[in-house]
Amino acid sequence: MFSYIRGTFIKVDDESVIIDVGGVGFEVLTTGNTLSKLPPVGDEIKLYSIMQVREDSITLIGFHSEDEKQMYKYLISVTGIGTKIALAILSSIDSVKLASLIISGDISVLATVKGIGKKTAERIVMELNNKLSKNADFFLKSLSNPVSDTNASSGIINDAIQALQSLGLSRLEAQSAIQAIPNRNDLSVEALIGEALRGLKQR
């Protein structure tokens, strides 16, 4: 029913924000990642939202980006994953990184999230791997222009991504790994590959 909610940012709690829309204060549940990106209190805020209607409650859930909202939808489609666990996962793992982990079948990080064990992590990967693989481009677009930071560096970054793909990484994994490197515009292809591989080993 709701695509997004926009209004004045009034208050933040541990797991939710209050947004004033035309004099009505809406409480919106959200993730830790979204909470870390909030504007100052009093500023305008826009969150991509979902309204969940149950017999005894109506809940608004908001996200800072469309890809985080889409990942939430994927997560709650998994057997045994409800709102609380889905929000906990997205509070611990960025949606683009999570997509990369699921596509690659890496359960190690997922299994460390509070409320998620090895079996649940395996179920998430099993039920979502194919869906996310088919929709990987959606999450690639959510990266902050990873291959076009500057005209001078774009060719080097693309070469590094292609090299990582030749080592067996998916394009999503390679692009996400490069995006995570600080000062990537100043590095050579070899340095980018080395930094990306070191980052992947630390996950």
Q: What are 50-65's pLDDT values in tens digits? A: 998 888 888 999 999 9
When pLDDT is averaged across residues 115-135 and rounded to a whole number, the result is 90
Q: Which of 80-84, 158-162, 186-190 has the highest mean pLDDT?
A: 80-84
Pairwise pLDDT comparison (155 vs 129), residue with the higher score = 129
- Residue-averaged pLDDT of the chain: 85
Q: Which of 31-35, 174-178, 182-186 has the highest mean pLDDT?
A: 31-35
Helix (H, G, I), strand (E, B) or coil at 67: helix
Q: In degrees, to the nearest 5, what angle opens at C-alpha 64 toward C-alphas 202 and 95?
A: 30
Structure tokens at 111: 């299994």
pTM of the predicted model as reported, rounded to 2 decimal places: 0.71
- The answer to whether the Cα torsion of 145, 150, 152, 156 is positive or negative is negative
* Cβ atoms 86, 45 nearer than 8 A: no
Q: Within the chain, how many helices (H) and strands (E) appear?
A: 9, 5
Give percent above pLDDT 70 in the chain: 90
Please state, in angstroms and rounded to a whole number, the distance separating the CA atoms of residues 160 and 152: 14
* Cβ atoms 121, 145 nearer than 8 A: no
pLDDT for the residue 145: 44
Spatial CA neighbour of 71 closest among 142, 19, 23: 142
Domains and CATH numbers, the chain: 4-63 (2.40.50.140), 66-139 (1.10.150.20), 144-201 (no CATH)
pLDDT for the residue 124: 95
pLDDT for the residue 134: 78
Please state, in angstroms and rounded to a whole number, the distance separating the CA atoms of residues 65 and 58: 22
Structure tokens at 182: 């600080």
pLDDT for the residue 150: 46
Structure tokens at 103: 């596509």
